Amino acid sequence: MTIQELEASIERHFAAGPAASGDPGAMAAFLALRAALESGAVRSASPDAASPTGWHVNAWVKRGILLGFRLGALEEMPAPGLSFVDKHTYPARHFSAADGVRVVPGGSSVRAGAYLARSVVCMPPMYINAGAYVDEGAMVDSHALVGSCAQIGKRVHLSAAAQIGGVLEPVNASPVVIEDDVLVGGNCGVYEGAIVRKGAVLASGTILTRGTPVFDLVTGRVLRATVELPLIVPEYAVVVPGSRAVTKGKGQEWGLSLYAAVIVKYRDDKTDLSTTLEDLLR
């Protein structure tokens, strides 16, 4: 089945609604999509130089992932010393040495339908959800989460407890995108379709959402999401958590400040030297 044929089949069975549950063809289409996601042949979002964001959302893929939930039945999924109950269409993925993916012992889980390229490192415990794409050389550190359909580029380091939000609905919404060579510090959170361009550094504790303004001290700009575009962090930006004073009302009277994300510089050789330790861990 070609990708075009798979897309047409997914769209047809998704449009059928609950009636698809009794159609063997619907399950066959979903399983073909799941296999294509795991091999990297299809993605929920793809690089697209013609798009204002540089990315194109493949809504039909997200509809196919949702179809899998519709078709799935609750099933016990025993594991050594543990027991899980989930939709049978989304079991945990299993890897072999031939896959070239390091899954270090200690309680990590990768859901079926996620793509992990060769040389990805998974430090326990971490979780990668269905539809996610994690490219070569990325490290997903302890207690980190890669949400459904999130796109993680090459050589990205998701530090301990970093949270990369997922999105399935609405199906045309952009997932979170972390481009190549980004360092995401510990306890960071990137949500609601934010895009972090290549080479950027998010210092520990940085939170990015659709409603988060980013104050660029270097250029004097304030970066915000718009109706058409998500929040976009520029290439090589170094972003730290900061604060901004409330300048009116009770907030001013009480001396309150609100969270703010701040670009303090753009990445240079000194910043790169501080990240070379990652290469020793791979």
pLDDT confidence band for 277 (50 / 70 / 90): low
On the question of pLDDT at 281 being above 70, the answer is no
Domain 100-270 is found in CATH 2.160.10.10: yes
The residue count for the chain: 282
Asked whether the beta carbons of 199 and 267 are under 8 A apart, the reply is yes
Domain 3-71 is found in CATH 1.10.166.10: yes
On the question of pLDDT at 72 being above 90, the answer is yes
Taking residues 94-99, what's their average pLDDT?
A: 96
Taking residues 213-227, what's their average pLDDT?
A: 96
Domain ranges in the chain?
A: 3-71, 100-270
On the question of pLDDT at 231 being above 70, the answer is yes
Distance CA 53, CA 228 (A): 10
Q: Which residue has the higher pLDDT, 278 or 85?
A: 85
pLDDT digits (tens, 9 = 90+) for 9-57: 999 999 999 999 989 999 999 999 999 999 999 999 999 999 999 999 9
Are 3-71 and 100-270 in the same CATH fold? no
Q: What is the pLDDT of residue 8?
A: 98
pLDDT digits (tens, 9 = 90+) for 172-200: 788 999 999 999 999 999 999 999 999 99
Which residues are paired to 178 by β-bridges? 152, 196
- Reading the block at residue 37, the tokens are 């996601």
On the question of pLDDT at 123 being above 60, the answer is yes
Q: What is the pLDDT of residue 79?
A: 76
- Reading the block at residue 225, the tokens are 């999401």
In the predicted model, what is the mean pLDDT of the chain? 94
